[in-house]
Every structure is written in C-alpha cells, then in structure tokens.
Amino acid sequence: MILVTGGAGFIGANFVLDWLSVSDEPVVNLDALTYAGNLENLASLKGDPRHIFVQGDICDRELVDRLFAEHQPRAIVHFAAESHVDRSIHGPGDFVRTNVNGTFTLLEAARGHWMSLEEAGKAAFRFHHVSTDEVYGSLGPNAPAFSETKTYEPNSPYSASKAASDHLVRAWHHTYGLPVTTSNCSNNYGPYHFPEKLIPLMIANALAGKPLPVYGDGQQIRDWLYVTDHCSAIRAVLAKGTPGEVYNVGGWNEKPNIEIVHTLCALLDELKPDPAGSYSRLITYVTDRPGHDRRYAIDARKIERELGWRPAETFETGIRKTVAWYLVNQAWVGHILSGAYREWVDTNYAGR
C-alpha cells in the first residue's frame, strides 16, 4: 500500500481517485482537514476498503511513526502543504510549520521506517515529494522555461517554504541515501479546486454575478496543467523515476491571467448564458499582489524523454471539462462558501 499526505485537498484528492481507478493497491490518506481539506472530494470512495482515511497532522511524529509501523507502506506521496500564495502573504507562519517542519517530520519518520527494511524493501521504497515551479522564481518575457537545473529563486513565503522542503528532501537522499524523488509542477486546474484560486474563484464569482478581480495588469503568465495529467506524471515518477532525481511537470500552456479570465467568461456565456450580458462585464482590475511573480513556464522535456510521460489534455479540452464540472457541482462549491471562506474573501479583497 501507499501512504498519501494531503489527500483531501485539491490535487491529493484527484490523485487518490485517479490511483484507485487504475490500481487496487490501497491508500492510507493522512490529512489534517485544514480549511483546504474536504472529505466531500472523496465521497465516491465511501465504504471502499482500499481507502483508509486518517485525520492528523504531518508534524505529529508519533502519529506518522505509527502509520508507517501499522501499514508498512512501500511508498509515500507527499502533497500536504499550505498552498495559497495570497494566504502566505497574510500569514506565513503556517507555511513554515507545515511545508518545512512537516516535510522534515515525514522525512525522519520515513528514514526510520526505511532503515528497518530488508535490502529488497529498502531498494523498492520511495518518498515522492510534490513540489511547485514557483521555487524557481520569476521569468523574463524571453527567458527559457524552467529546467530541473534552474537556480532556486523563491519570492513568496509560499514558494520559499516549498523551496526549503525541496532542499530537505534532496539532502535526505544525498546524506542518508533515502530513495526520494521530487516533481516540480506548474499551476494545476480541474475538479475540486478550492475557490480561492484563480480559475475556480472566477467561475464562482461569475455565476454569483460578483466582480472578477484581476490583479495588476492581468499580464502575469502561468503555465497550466489539467490536474489528472499531474496525477499521471506522479504515477510515472513513482513507477519509473530514479531515486535522487527531480522531474519538472507542465503542459506547455503559458497563458496570461487576463486571457484565462476571458476564456472562462466565453465558456460560461456558451454553457450558462446570463440574461444580463456577457460575464466579461464583471472583470475588475484590482491592486496587484505584493511581490507578484510575472511569469512561470516549465520545460517538461526530461520527464517525457526519460519516463515517456505526456499530458493527455490540451488547455482547450481541460478548461472546458473544468467549467462543465463546476456547473454540475454547484452544491460542492456552495458547501465551501461558509463563514471561514467569506472571512478570507473579506481579508484578501477588502483592501484592493
């Protein structure tokens, strides 16, 4: 079996669902259920004995040790993190705690478990660390996309904490020989994406007739990947990746934010027209994010060359699926728009 951390969040939940759709290997899912964790994402697994959910904190060493001893996982796939840049600007402490101390705790627990294994078990064991392209910093307009050898230049508390965790993972391989792999992926989108992030926030606001808040001039570029393509990339790294190696994952889909917002408005105009007029009337430019990175782009040639991975979705097919998913899953969004969510919206957007 495998141990997944953060499997009730956006990518983690998609990964667990994807894993169990292609494999019968059970998953132990450790998630603290912070504001971002949602068991509704895993509702379709209710009663499925292949999914064991444990509510708990990755910083809790005793608990993590117990899970390793009890379930003897052959691999750990580590998603759990504080993941939202804007939140990291308002409150960086949780980011250092979970992303840095949490990863350290998992590495130490995994090392203890790994040391206790026989040679064959030791060689087969994997610690897969899920990271982000944001650790590489911001690109100029004509700079080449991030390769695995790009220097680290994190600019936000979020990316700095992820960079720190990547360094710990690297060191645990180099120093102790722990068989780790790391993937640095570009921006994901798709089902179960928490509506504080650009794409689901714009869909939710448009459907509610609320302003669509575009930071600064809207010309910042992100490189978008449909979430199930990220899941298949992680499966490929787990199956065929070389310990100690880093794999950049992306979909070759660089888009300025304003173009994303216009695309979402056009799809909503087509699929759920508003008698009041095009949703693009709601686009509102607001004060920029402090330290806002201008451009991210991933060079995904290594994972394609070495592991044969390629994304299955284009941006056009993925974004259409995503909008359609949100339209039929309005109840899922509705349950999230709770007091805690509204409080965040007040904090982040009030001063803009």
Closest CA to 161 of 69, 102, 225, 99: 99
Q: Kindly state the helix (H) or strand (E) to which residue 99 belongs, with its residue range.
A: none
Residue 213 touches ligand TYD, criterion: CB under 6 A: yes
Among 2, 11, 85, 319, binds ligand NAD (CB under 6 A): 11
The Cα–Cα gap between 168 and 104 comes to 7
- Which amino acid does the sequence have at 214? V
Q: Which two tokens stand for residue 318?
A: 């993925």
Q: Which is nearer to ligand NAD, 225 or 323 (CB)?
A: 225
87 vs 98: CA distance, rounded Å: 13
Q: Length of the chain, please?
A: 352
d(C-alpha 234, C-alpha 245), whole Å: 13
Residue 130 makes contact with ligand NAD by CB under 6 A: yes
Which residues, 6 or more positions from 159, have their beta carbon under 8 angstroms from its beta carbon? 85, 132, 134, 135, 137, 293
Are 138 and 296 in contact by the 8 Å Cβ rule? The answer is yes
Please tell me which residue in 18, 57, 134, 196 is annotated as part of the active site.
134
State the DSSP code for 143: S
Q: Of these residues, 136, 158, 247, 279, which one is catalytic?
A: 158
When the beta carbons of 66 and 321 are compared against ligand TYD, the nearer one is 321
Choosing from 105, 187, 248, 263, the residue that interacts with ligand TYD (CB under 6 A) is: 187
220 interacts with ligand TYD by CB under 6 A: yes
Residues within window 319-338 making contact with ligand NAD, judged by CB under 6 A: none
Round the CA-based radius of gyration of the chain to a whole number and report it: 20
Question: Is residue 80 near ligand NAD by the rule CB under 6 A?
Answer: yes
| Annotation says 215 is catalytic | no
Q: Which stretch binds ligand NAD (CB under 6 A): 7-15, 272-280, 297-305, 333-341?
A: 7-15
Q: Which does 268 bind (CB under 5 to 8 A by kind): ligand NAD, ligand TYD, none?
A: none
Residue from 17, 206, 214, 282 binding ligand TYD (CB under 6 A): 214
Instruction: Judge whether 274 counts as a catalytic residue.
Output: no
Which of 58, 106, 202, 267 touches ligand NAD by CB under 6 A?
Answer: 58
Q: Is 316 a catalytic residue?
A: no
Q: Give the span between the Cα atoms of 205 and 213, in whole angstroms.
A: 9
* Residue 12 interacting with ligand NAD (CB under 6 A): yes
Binding stretches for ligand TYD (CB under 6 A): 85, 187, 197-198, 201, 213-215, 220, 222, 257, 289
Catalytic residue numbers read 133-134, 158
